[in-house]
Homo-oligomer: A and B are copies of this chain.
Amino acid sequence: MTRPRYDLELLLDVAIEEFTKRGYDGTSIEHLSAATGLSKSSLYHHVDGKEHILRLGLERAVTPLLGLLDEPEAREGKAIDRLTYVLRRQIAILADQLAAVTLLLRVRGNTETELWALEQRRTFDAFVADLVRAGVAEGDLRGDLDPTVVARLLSGTVNSLTEWYRPGHGSLSADALADTMLSSSLAGLRT
């Protein structure tokens, strides 16, 4: 009768787009109902409310990004290689979950879910900053630059891809994009 999985995925697709466009505060459940064509009672069959929708939408980005930090390639080996791996995978996740990553980067605010999302971003960025510091300590990255600033510039470069990169339709693959970014931005940081 219903297609629950499909309905939930559709709801998240639409909600991520609307939250990004109108802001979380500016988007109502009524609006999501109208935009998806799902009745409010159908929506509440899938989710507990607007904040739950935000959480599920953000998890599309947060789960793979934070999961990446537990992968062996991010944990073992030389810092420069781990950093390269993390940035390349981060770009792949951004390409795969572009809308959700875009929403994650826009989140500001005071709901529990927004604070949780900001905390996840901080954890990710701190991991990258630690890799930069370790790369300096291991002698593979230049020690004359402030590692915190370098990490922010790297994160900023990757995150700015959400502004212009649109995968598919004969555009650059995420892997080719990562090649260019790593080959230019990281090359200048090597000793």
Q: Which A residues are closer than 8 A to B by beta carbons?
A: 22-23, 26, 105, 142, 144-146, 149-150, 152-153, 155-157, 159-161, 163-164, 172, 177, 180-181, 183-189
Contacts and interface: CB of A to CB of B under 8 A. Distances in A.
B183 A184 contact: no
A188 B155 CA distance: 17
A163 B188 CA distance: 23
Given A156-B163, A163-B159, A180 B23 contact: no
Residue among A22, A23, A144, A149 having the largest count of chain B Cβ atoms under 10 Å: A149
Given A23-B23, A105-B163, A156-B160, 14 more contacts: A22-B23, A22-B26, A149-B180, A150-B184, A153-B180, A156-B163, A157-B185, A159-B163, A160-B160, A185-B188, A187-B187, A187-B188, A188-B188, A188-B189
A180 B146 contact: yes
Q: How many copies does the complex hold?
A: 2
A180 B145 contact: yes
Nearest to A172: B149
8 contacts: A145-B183, A149-B180, A150-B184, A156-B157, A159-B163, A184-B189, A185-B185, A185-B188
